[in-house]
Amino acid sequence: MERTWHKPLPAADLLIRGGRVVDPLCGVDAAQDVLVKRGKIAETGKGLAAPKGAREVDADGMLVLPGFVDLHTHLRVPGREHEEDVASGTLAAAAGGYVKVFSMANTDPVIDTAVVLRGLVGTARAEAVVPAGFYAAVTRGLKGERLTEMAELAEAGAVAFSDDGRPLATAALVRRALQYARITGRTVAIHAQDDSLFKGGQMHEGPASARLGLGGIPSLCESLDVARALEVAAYEEAPLHVHHVSCSATLEHLRRAKAAGLKVTVEATPHHLTMTDEAVSSLDSNLKMNPPLREEADRQALVEALQSGLVDCVATDHAPHAPMSKDVPFEEAAFGTTGLETAFAVLYTDLVKKGALDLGTLVTRMSQAPAAIAGVEPPAIRPGAVADLCVVDPRATWTVTGDGFKSRSSNSAFVGRQLSGRVRLTLAAGRLAWEADA
């Protein structure tokens, strides 16, 4: 059953010469040439000859990595195409080294019927530069009342079910969602948030929010909702995916649940892994996101959990917003930051280069682990595999600027940052999806 769709592009023929191939799944970390023929990896090794007519890419000094997979993108279609659409969002993904993205259902209309989902599949077939897949909503209109027709949505290609942007507000709703989703073989993913604790919140509740006089969103708002969902999932013996975990209290619940054998998977975002609420002192609305940036102890706990595997994968929560939603006072701004084009460089610069995370683990968490969670073939750089890979120059430094994005929106929390690591080329589904100007 297909879970992603993309536009027909010509299959690639090229020889990537001399790069450092880092593929934890295949147990490879070595200088190798990679020969791609008709979109498939034909051969890897040293001193490979380019077949007649095939292009050669000099990857000397560069990393050749399994392409990244994002389980949490907002492509904003249908309904908010002025902020992002399938073409712009998947090009942004390709520019960030992504070879697959999965888009959320909090659109207008909501992806809550097979008709809407089939329309998106058609759009992806016409426009997607890298394969795109779609979540379907858990409840109709994301209203938290009646469940969607999950069987029909799964049949139409939904990768999983999520009301992302909204929590599943009652234990009964979580329970019904898990029961019905299980029949379809798809997982329920939760945006954990206890609304009674969220009310009026603008940023993490702590010393920084007190100083700034901004309404706080306590860690408890997340950890309590996750704890409840885990209890229900354990009771139902059903799998669960937790979106954008942000605080150490939540990690403790997840640790216990995993130790008890629950099938729970967890994602964390580049911004929660690298930034804290102290940065919000700038009152830059691009730093307003939900869940909010937490404290340094939370950030460190997330990094350790990413290294250990308690956090299974990185997901961007790429959330494009129009200037009118962000060029306003902090209190009035929308929640969210973009992330597809900066994710690898941010994590490489702030975690790998500083020795907090090893490169192979980062690759696993950005590529192969999220692919496995989505139920798609994990990208691998081995003969016979479809070419899903990216070439990254780790020496390239660049400054993130608002006008440098392929995304239609520029509300990035990382604008102004100097980063190391630039994606030079991306092959997705065997097609050349991205190549940076030399």
Q: By three-state DSSP, how is residue 288 classified? A: coil
DSSP summary character for residue 282: G
- Nearest Cα to Cα of residue 340 among 408, 429, 260: 408
- AA letter at 135: Y
Q: Which is nearer to Zn ion, 164 or 393 (CB)?
A: 164
> Within 10 A of 290 (CB to CB), how many other CB atoms are there?
21
Pick the catalytic residue from 317, 350, 388, 393. 317
Q: Which is nearer to Zn ion, 123 or 316 (CB)?
A: 316
CB of 230 to Zn ion, least distance (A): 17
Q: Which is nearer to Zn ion, 168 or 415 (CB)?
A: 168
CB of 414 to Zn ion, least distance (A): 17
Q: Which residue is nearest to Zn ion (CB)?
A: 191
Q: Which is nearer to Zn ion, 70 or 164 (CB)?
A: 164
Six token digits for residue 118? 């089939």
- Token pair 């102004």 is found at 416
- Nearest Cα to Cα of residue 338 among 5, 110, 101, 119: 101
- Nearest Cα to Cα of residue 6 among 139, 125, 108: 125
Q: Which is nearer to Zn ion, 234 or 334 (CB)?
A: 334
Bridge partners, residue 267, by sequence? 313
Q: Which is nearer to Zn ion, 25 or 190 (CB)?
A: 190
Contact 365, 351 (CB under 8 A): no
Please say if 317 is a catalytic residue: yes
- AA letter at 410: S
CB of 315 to Zn ion, least distance (A): 9
DSSP summary character for residue 52: T
* 29 φ/ψ angles, rounded to the nearest 5 degrees: -145, 90
Angle at 207 between CA 203 and CA 213, to 5 degrees: 60
CB of 59 to Zn ion, least distance (A): 34
| Integer angstrom CA distances of residue 406 from 73, 90, 233, 325 | 15, 9, 39, 19
Contact 326, 334 (CB under 8 A): yes
Query: How long, in residues, is the chain?
Result: 438
- Give the interface with Zn ion as residue ranges (CB under 5 A): 164, 191, 317
CB of 164 to Zn ion, least distance (A): 4
CB of 191 to Zn ion, least distance (A): 4
Q: Which is nearer to Zn ion, 191 or 417 (CB)?
A: 191
Distance CA 202, CA 335 (A): 9
CB of 64 to Zn ion, least distance (A): 30
> Within 10 A of 171 (CB to CB), how many other CB atoms are there?
13
Contact 224, 194 (CB under 8 A): yes
Six token digits for residue 296? 């340094």
Six token digits for residue 233? 């999932």
Six token digits for residue 363? 């690759």
List, by residue number, the catalytic residues: 317
